[in-house]
């Protein structure tokens, strides 16, 4: 691991097994990742975004900054984290995705792991192609709220 820690770049194709486990690319793993906590969130663009342990603390700071009186912020947090999940890697470098996240990303058997430098996304391959080739200006209400909150 370098000065910045693990970075997530590139694209990797993997398959979900019968127990909804997905292998993290060896290039993206690090010593101690079995004990650490990853946070997986349903991304409004149609995939699952995985925050690795080093980013979880940053996410925690941003979430803690959302005040109770910020009703829009609280609504976003409720919607987002009610569908989220936490996990570590098993000894073979696999993570287990919840049924909620699998449904959100419309995953079946094949999955595409796409690096976003500090996080990574898990996509259903045809959805990713559609997203990648689609217009840039497309945004929905949840995306706008997440952006306003800095999440």
> pLDDT (tens digit, 9 = 90+) per residue, 22-74?
999 988 887 766 677 889 999 999 999 999 888 888 888 889 999 999 998 89
Return all residues near 109 (Cβ < 8 A) that are at least 6 apart: 15, 16
Closest CA to 52 of 67, 64, 40, 70: 40
Residue 64's nearest CA partner among 123, 125, 149, 135 is: 149
Residue 41 and residue 80 in contact, taking contact as beta carbons nearer than 8 Å: yes
Nearest to 79 by CA among 146, 138, 124: 146
- Show the domains of the chain with their CATH numbers: 11-23+30-149 (3.40.1550.20)
Average pLDDT of 104-132? Answer: 96
Lowest mean pLDDT among 86-90, 129-133, 135-139: 135-139
pTM, whole model, 2 decimals? 0.83
């Amino acid at each position: 691991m370098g000065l910045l820690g693990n970075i997530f770049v590139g694209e990797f194709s993997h398959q979900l097994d019968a127990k909804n486990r997905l292998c993290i690319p060896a290039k993206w793993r690090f010593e101690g990742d079995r004990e650490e906590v990853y946070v997986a969130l349903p991304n409004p663009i149609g995939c699952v975004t995985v925050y690795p342990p080093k980013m979880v603390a940053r996410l925690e700071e941003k979430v803690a900054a959302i005040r109770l009186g910020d009703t829009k912020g609280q609504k976003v947090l409720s919607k987002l984290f009610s569908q989220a999940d936490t996990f570590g890697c098993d000894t073979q470098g696999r993570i287990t995705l919840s049924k909620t996240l699998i449904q959100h990303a419309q995953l079946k058997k094949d999955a595409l792991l796409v690096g976003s430098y500090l996080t990574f996304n898990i996509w259903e391959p045809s959805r990713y192609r559609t997203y990648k080739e689609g217009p840039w200006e497309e945004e929905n209400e949840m995306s706008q709220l997440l952006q306003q909150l800095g999440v």
